[in-house]
Chains A and B, each alone.
Chain A
Amino acid sequence: MNEQYLKLAIVGQVGAGKTTLIKTLSQIDPLQTEAKASQDIGKEFTTVGIDYGRINLEEDLAVGLYGVPGQSRFSFIWDTVSKGLWGLVFLVKYDPQAHYEELKEFLAFFLTKDKNVACLVGLTHSENIDQKNLIKAFDTLQSLMSSHKMNVPVFPVDPRSKDSSRLILNTINTLGVREA
């Protein structure tokens, strides 16, 4: 039996929930490269390398989950991870000021690579946001994606929850192209 292996990258700003998402989804003990934060980023540890986990979607179909740090000084990792992607998840932390500057930077980088990659935007830290503000955030993100000629789903996700995280994976699976 020939096992197929697909690459899914999870990118997003500091604290968006990339490491948490991979930990929630992975069926193997994930590779984590956390270092103590030397600056105040609102949490004690931050990823400085890559997160890696793996999940079997079907018996003979494995997905490698690659978490990539968001700061542009780590863009040399983006280079490596962006090759041969099947799917791309942008995790965005809810921001009442709607400053989604970092997302623009990733979009510019990743989307010039391969237009056939299945993409979606997951809005995290959004479980307690009221409907009105949630819709506003979706609109902002959607128009940001449209300005990059991307029509991709945007939905709330809580990386701490298994169901919510699986929904992300299943959506990518329905959007993604698999080579025969």
Chain B
Amino acid sequence: MNQQEIKEKLKGALQAAIKDEFKSNSEILMISLCTTDGFHIHSERTDAFDLEETKMSAMSSTLFSLSKACAEIQKGNTLNIATVETENTHFFFLKTDILNLNCVLSFAVHSKLSLAQGRFHAKRLSEKLGNLPKEVIPG
């Protein structure tokens, strides 16, 4: 496989993994993957999330980077997950590295799911995405 083929294959696998997770639970409202500098990679969302993808990506990268700066006010602290709670929805923003591409995974669940349950789903997907290159790329 050449570089381009690997890239396509990896992209397909990322999309499939995000789609599967999204379909796995009806309380998952939105999943979006973008680079830390705010470029959109793939999203799944319910109709309630009427949002332009590039804007969601820009917001995710900004929110993540501000949260990171906030976390690092305390010496030695690093950010794992930024959480936003609203009455109806819990949002999680997770650092997700796919090979050497630094990404942010945005994950929204209905507040019927507890924070812990939502975080569990989000973290599991983040880890899965991070491990995909090992599964997809030969050698």
- Whether, in the assembled complex, A134 has its beta carbon less than 8 Å from a beta carbon of chain B, the answer is no
Q: Does B66 lie within 8 Å of A50, measured CB to CB?
A: yes
Interface-lining segment among B34-42, B111-119, B121-129: B34-42
> Are B35 and A49 in contact (CB-based, < 8 A)?
no
Q: How far is the CB of A115 from chain B (nearest CB, A)?
A: 28
Contacts of B37 in A (CB 8 A): 35-39, 46, 48
Determine the chain B residues whose CB is within 8 A of the CB of A74 once the complex forms: 38, 58, 62
| Closest residue on chain A to residue B103 by CB atoms | A38
Select which of A31, A33, A39 is within 8 A of B39 by beta carbon: A39
- List B contacts of A76 (CB < 8 A): 55, 58-59
Is B77 in the interface zone, CB < 8 Å from A?
Answer: no
Shortest A47–chain B CB gap in Å is 8
Q: Please classify how large the interface on chain A is, using the bins under 10, 10 to 19, 20 to 34, 35 or more.
A: 10 to 19
- On chain B, the residues within 8 Å of A49 by CB distance are 61-63, 65-66, 69
Quick check: A77 and B39 within 8 Å, CB to CB? no
Interface residues of B (CB under 8 A from A): 35-39, 54-55, 57-59, 61-63, 65-66, 68-69, 101-102
A-B contacts, 14 of them at CB < 8 A, read A31-B69, A33-B66, A33-B68, A34-B65, A35-B36, A36-B102, A38-B36, A38-B102, A46-B37, A48-B58, A48-B62, A49-B63, A49-B65, A50-B62
